[in-house]
C-alpha cells in the first residue's frame, strides 16, 4: 500500500464527503462543474508535460538520450526510491515542492470561485483534483507509456514528505471522488438545485 501509512486514509475521503453531502447538499451549477472539469483536464495535461520534461532531463543526465522513446525507457526503470528526492539536487527539489504547493493553491482557488457554499467548495476541490490527477496519468501514459502497470510505484507528493503508492491507488481515490460528487449533485436536484432557475 501507500507510504507513509496515513496516505492510505485518503481512500475514506470520498466516502466521508458523500456522507456529509447527503446531509448538507452541494451547490454547484452544471456550468461551473463543466468549466472546472475543462480547467482541471487542461491543467492535468500541463502537469503531465512538466513531468515529461523533468524526466527527459533526468534521462539525459542518466545517459538515456532526449527523445520520447529514451524518456519512456528511463521511466520504465524509474524506481520511487530514486524519484524526485534522490535524483534531484536539493535546490531543484525545493522548486518541485513549490510547484506542488502552487498546484494545490490553484485547485483551491477554482473551488472557491466555482461553488456557493462550503460543501460545494469541498466538492469542487475534490472534483478538480480528481480530474486533474486522472488527466495527469493519462498524459504520462499517452506520451511516455508510463505507468506500464497499475502496480508501478509513484511519488504522489513531496509535502511534507514523499507520499509513495502504486499508481492504482490515486486512480481509485480520484475515481471515487468524481463518483461521490456526481452522486451528491444528482441527489440535490430533488431539493430545488440552483440550476433549476
| Residue 60 maps to a domain | yes
Distances (CA, A) of 9 to 5, 15, 22, 197: 8, 11, 21, 39
Over the stretch 78-123, which tens digit does the pLDDT of each residue have?
Answer: 664 444 445 567 777 888 899 999 999 999 999 999 888 899 999 9
Neighbours of 189 (CB within 10 A): 11
Output the average pLDDT for the chain. 86
Highest mean pLDDT: which range of 11-20, 52-61, 94-103, 110-119 = 11-20
| Residue 10 maps to a domain | no
C-alpha cell of residue 129: 483534483
| Residue 21 maps to a domain | no
H or E element at residue 31: helix 30-61
Which structural domain, as residue segments, surrounds residue 181?
Answer: 28-185
| Residue 122 maps to a domain | yes
Contact 129, 105 (CB under 8 A): no
The pLDDT, as a whole number, for residue 186 is 55
| Residue 23 maps to a domain | no
Classify residue 88 as exposed, middle or buried by CB count within 10 Å of its CB (0-12, 13-18, 19+): middle
Q: Number of folded domains in the chain? A: 1
| Residue 167 maps to a domain | yes
For the CA atoms of the chain, what is the radius of gyration? 18
Cell 511534507 appears where? Answer: 160
pTM equals 0.86
| Residue 175 maps to a domain | yes
| Residue 9 maps to a domain | no
Over the stretch 142-188, which tens digit does the pLDDT of each residue have?
Answer: 999 999 899 999 889 888 888 999 999 999 999 999 999 999 875 34
Amino acid at each position: 500500500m501507500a507510504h507513509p501509512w496515513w496516505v492510505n486514509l485518503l481512500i475514506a475521503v470520498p466516502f466521508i464527503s458523500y456522507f456529509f453531502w447527503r446531509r448538507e447538499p452541494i451547490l454547484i451549477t452544471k456550468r461551473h462543474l463543466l468549466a472546472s472539469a475543462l480547467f482541471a483536464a487542461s491543467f492535468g495535461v500541463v502537469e503531465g508535460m512538466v513531468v515529461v520534461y523533468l524526466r527527459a532531463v533526468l534521462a539525459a543526465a542518466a545517459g538515456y538520450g532526449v527523445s520520447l522513446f529514451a524518456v519512456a525507457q528511463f521511466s520504465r526503470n524509474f524506481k520511487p526510491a530514486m524519484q524526485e528526492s534522490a535524483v534531484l539536487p536539493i535546490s531543484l527539489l525545493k522548486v518541485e515542492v513549490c510547484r506542488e504547493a502552487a498546484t494545490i493553491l490553484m485547485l483551491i482557488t477554482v473551488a472557491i470561485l466555482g461553488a456557493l457554499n462550503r460543501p460545494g467548495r469541498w466538492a469542487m476541490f475534490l472534483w478538480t483534483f480528481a480530474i486533474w490527477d486522472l488527466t495527469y496519468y493519462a498524459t504520462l501514459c499517452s506520451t511516455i507509456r508510463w505507468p506500464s502497470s497499475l502496480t508501478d510505484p509513484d511519488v504522489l507528493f513531496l509535502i511534507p514528505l514523499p507520499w509513495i503508492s502504486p499508481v492504482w491507488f490515486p486512480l481509485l481515490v480520484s475515481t471515487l471522488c468524481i463518483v461521490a460528487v456526481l452522486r451528491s449533485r444528482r441527489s440535490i436536484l430533488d431539493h430545488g438545485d440552483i440550476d433549476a432557475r
